[in-house]
Chain A
Amino acid sequence: MEDEKNEPNEEPTTDNSEDVDEFDDEEISRDLVVPGETLTEDTKTFLPGRGTIFNKDRTKIISLNIGLKQVKRNYINVIPLRGFYTPRPGDKVIALVTDKNPVKYICDINAKDRGILKPKNTVARGKPRGYRGGAPDRQDNSTEKYKIGDILIVKVLSADRLNKPELTTVGKYLGKRRDGLVITIDPPKIPRVIGRSGSMIKMLKDLTKSNIFVTQNGRIWLKGENLAHERLLIDAIRKIEKEAHTVGLTDRMSEYIENEKKIRGMN
Chain B
Amino acid sequence: MPLIIKDEYPEKLFREDGKRLDGRDKNELRPIKMEVGVLENADGSAYLEWGNNKIYCAVYGPREVHPHHLAKPDRGILRVFYRMATFSVFERKRPAPGRREKEVSMVITDCLKPVLFLELYPGTSFEVFINVLDADGGTRCACVTVAALALADAGIPMRSLVTAVAIGKIDGELITDLSGIEDKAGEADLPCAMTWFNEELSLLQFDGKMDLDEFNESLGLAKEAISKIYEIQLNALKKKYIEIQEEYSGGEK
Q: What is A's interface to B at a CB cutoff of 8 Å?
A: 30-32, 34-37, 51, 53, 55-57, 62, 64-66, 80-84, 112-114, 161-162, 188, 242-243, 245-248, 252
With A55-B198, A62-B197 as known contacts, state yes or no: A32 contacts B159, CB within 8 Å.
no
Report 21 cross-chain contacts, Cβ distance below 8 Å, ordered by A residue: A32-B242, A34-B234, A35-B152, A35-B160, A36-B161, A36-B195, A53-B159, A55-B197, A57-B198, A62-B160, A65-B157, A81-B155, A82-B154, A84-B62, A112-B121, A113-B123, A243-B248, A245-B244, A246-B248, A247-B249, A248-B248
Please determine whether B160 and A36 come into contact, CB atoms closer than 8 angstroms: yes
Chain A residues in 8 Å Cβ range of B244: 242-243, 245-246
Chain A residues in 8 Å Cβ range of B21: none
With A37-B234, A84-B62, A246-B248 as known contacts, state yes or no: A161 contacts B155, CB within 8 Å.
no
Range for the number of chain B residues in contact with chain A: 35 or more
Which residue on A lies nearest to B154, using beta carbons? A82
Chain A residues in 8 Å Cβ range of B253: 30-31
Q: What is B's interface to A at a CB cutoff of 8 Å?
A: 43-44, 61-64, 73, 115, 117, 120-124, 152-161, 195-198, 234, 237-238, 241-242, 244-245, 248-249, 253
Chain B residues in 8 Å Cβ range of A35: 115, 152, 157-161
CA distance A64 to B122 in the complex (A): 19
Smallest CB separation, A74 vs chain B (Å): 22
CA distance A37 to B244 in the complex (A): 21
Please determine whether B198 and A245 come into contact, CB atoms closer than 8 angstroms: no
Which residue on B lies nearest to A37, using beta carbons? B234
Which residue on B lies nearest to A243, using beta carbons? B244
CA distance A65 to B151 in the complex (A): 10
Please determine whether A245 and B161 come into contact, CB atoms closer than 8 angstroms: no
Smallest CB separation, B71 vs chain A (Å): 12
CA distance A113 to B63 in the complex (A): 7
Please determine whether B245 and A246 come into contact, CB atoms closer than 8 angstroms: yes
Chain B residues in 8 Å Cβ range of A82: 44, 153-155
Q: A245-B244, A246-B245 are in contact. List 18 more A-B contacts (CB 8 A).
A: A34-B152, A34-B238, A36-B115, A36-B158, A36-B159, A62-B160, A64-B117, A80-B155, A82-B155, A112-B62, A112-B63, A112-B64, A113-B64, A113-B123, A161-B120, A245-B241, A246-B244, A252-B248
Which residue on A lies nearest to B248, using beta carbons? A246
Smallest CB separation, A105 vs chain B (Å): 17
Smallest CB separation, B120 vs chain A (Å): 7
CA distance A65 to B198 in the complex (A): 17
Chain A residues in 8 Å Cβ range of B195: 36
With A35-B159, A65-B157 as known contacts, state yes or no: A162 contacts B123, CB within 8 Å.
yes
Chain B residues in 8 Å Cβ range of A37: 234
